[in-house]
Amino acid sequence: MQPRVMVSLEEGKEAGVLSLSRTNRFKALPLRSPRLRLLVLFIVLGVVFSVIVVYTVRLFGVDSLVMNVGSSGFRPCYEEATSLEDWIRPPSNLMHNMSDKELLWRASFVPRINKYPFVRVPKIAFMFLTKGPLPLAPLWEKFLKGHQGLYSIYIHSLPSYQATFPPSSPFYNRQIPSQVSEWGRMSMCDAERRLLANALLDVSNEWFILLSESCIPLYGFSNIYNYIRKSKYSFIGAFDDHGPYGRGRYNENMAPVVNITEWRKGSQWFEINRKLAINIVEDTRFYPKFEQFCRPACYVDEHYFPTMLTIQAGSVLANRSITWVDWSRGGAHPATFGRSDITEEFFKRVREGRQCLYNGRNITVCYLFARKFAPSALEPLLQVEPRVLGF
C-alpha cells in the first residue's frame, strides 16, 4: 500500500492529494495560490541572477564586477588614500574633531626618507593668532595676490568668532578649531602649537610665521619669500637676559630639565622651519615644566619656545625676530600706530638705519613685518602701499 500525504492549500481555495511512490513519481502542485506563484518567481529570478554573475566573472574577471559596483551612486562614508596624491593633498577643510592630543600626535609624523617622490613647492604658512576679526585683511590680500601655491593661511581666533570673508578672499574658511587663550599663560602657547600642528598637516608648508591681527608686511611677497627661503637660520629671538625680566623669572624647580644657564627670552612673534615646528608640537619633556613653573610674572610665551629650541637646536637660530615693534613708549605692550602715524617717513624710519646678520654677513634689511597697527591705519596703508611697500 503506497503512503499518501495530504496538503491543505491556504485560504481554502483548493485541496489536493500528493501521491508519492517508491519511484519518486509525483504530480505537480497547482500554481493558483498568489503566494506560491510569487515564491516561484523569486526563485527563478535568483537563479537567473546567479547565472549572470557566474558568466560575468568567468568572462571578464572579478575586477570588472567590482568596477561596475563602484561606478554606482554608492559612496563610502570616508575616503581612503589610494594614491600618493591623496596622501600629500592638504586638508580641504581645516575644521576637524581631533583633540589637541590627537592633533599634536598626527602633526608629529615625519617621513624617514628625506627626498620627496614628487615635485614639492615649499610654502610659507602665515599663522594669525587673533581674538576675532582681521581688520587689515585687505592689505594682506593685496600682498598675497598672484602668489597662490606659495603660501597657506591659518587663523586661530576665539571659538565664538565667526569670520565673514567672501569666497574670493585667501582668508575664506581658514579658521582652525580653537580654544580661549590668555596672554602670558600656557594657553597662549597652546594656541601657537595648535596653529603649528594644523599647518604641519600640509606637507608642502616649510616655513611657519606667527602673526597677529595688527601685523603688516613691510615688503612685497617675492622679497619676503626669497629672504626666508635663502636663510640658513630660523628667525626667533633667544637671548640670555641676566636681569629681572630674564633670569629673574627662572624657577629652580625647572632643573635639571632646564638649567638657569639655558634659560632664554625672546619675542613671541617668530619664523621657524618645518623641523623646528615638529620639535615644538612633539614636545612632552619641556612643556610640563613651563606649564607648572612659568606663570605670571613669568610670561611663558616669551620663554618656552626660545629656551627649548636653544637647548635642542641652538645652532640654527638667528637669535632675532623679523617682526618690528616699538617699545620706546614704555609699558607692558609696544606702541600702536593709527591713521595719523602712517606716512612715508614713518616707513623709512622702520625699514632703515640698522644692521643685522643674515647668513653670517651684515645687511640692512632686518625686519620683514611690523606691528602694532590699529584698524584706523588701514586706509592710509592702502594709499601708501604702491609707493612704499610695493606689493
Q: Where are the beta strands (DSSP E) in 31-150?
A: 123-129
Coil vs helix vs strand at 20: coil
Nearest alpha-carbon partner for 308 in 349, 254, 386: 254
H/E element, 46: helix 34-60
Give the model's pLDDT for residue 83. Answer: 86
Q: Tens digit of pLDDT for each residue in 96-109?
A: 999 999 999 999 99
Give the model's pLDDT for residue 286. Answer: 98
Give the model's pLDDT for residue 87. Answer: 81
Give the model's pLDDT for residue 101. Answer: 97
Q: Count of alpha carbons within 13 Å of 146, Cβ hemisphere only?
A: 6
Edge-first strand order for the sheet with 151-156 is 151-156, 123-129, 205-212, 271-273
Torsion of CA 92, 96, 99, 102, to 10 degrees: -40
Crossing angle for the helix pair 274-281 and 186-200, to the nearest 10 degrees: 130
C-alpha cell at 379: 586706509
Bridge partners of 7, per DSSP, are 16
What values do phi and psi take at 362, rounded to 5?
Answer: -80, 135
Per-residue pLDDT 10s for the chain (391 aa) are 444 333 333 334 334 433 434 444 434 445 556 666 766 676 777 766 676 655 554 554 544 444 444 433 433 434 556 788 888 888 888 999 999 999 999 999 999 998 999 999 999 999 999 999 999 999 999 999 999 999 999 999 999 999 999 999 999 999 999 999 998 999 999 999 999 999 999 999 999 999 999 999 999 999 999 999 999 999 999 999 999 999 999 999 999 999 999 999 999 999 999 999 999 999 999 999 999 999 999 999 999 999 999 999 999 999 999 999 999 887 778 999 999 999 999 999 999 989 999 999 999 999 999 999 999 999 999 999 999 999 9
Torsion of CA 118, 124, 128, 129, to 10 degrees: 80
Give the model's pLDDT for residue 177. Answer: 97
Q: Tens digit of pLDDT for each residue in 20-67?
A: 344 444 344 455 566 667 666 767 777 666 766 555 545 545 444 444
Give the model's pLDDT for residue 27. Answer: 44
Q: Tens digit of pLDDT for each residue in 187-196?
A: 999 999 999 9
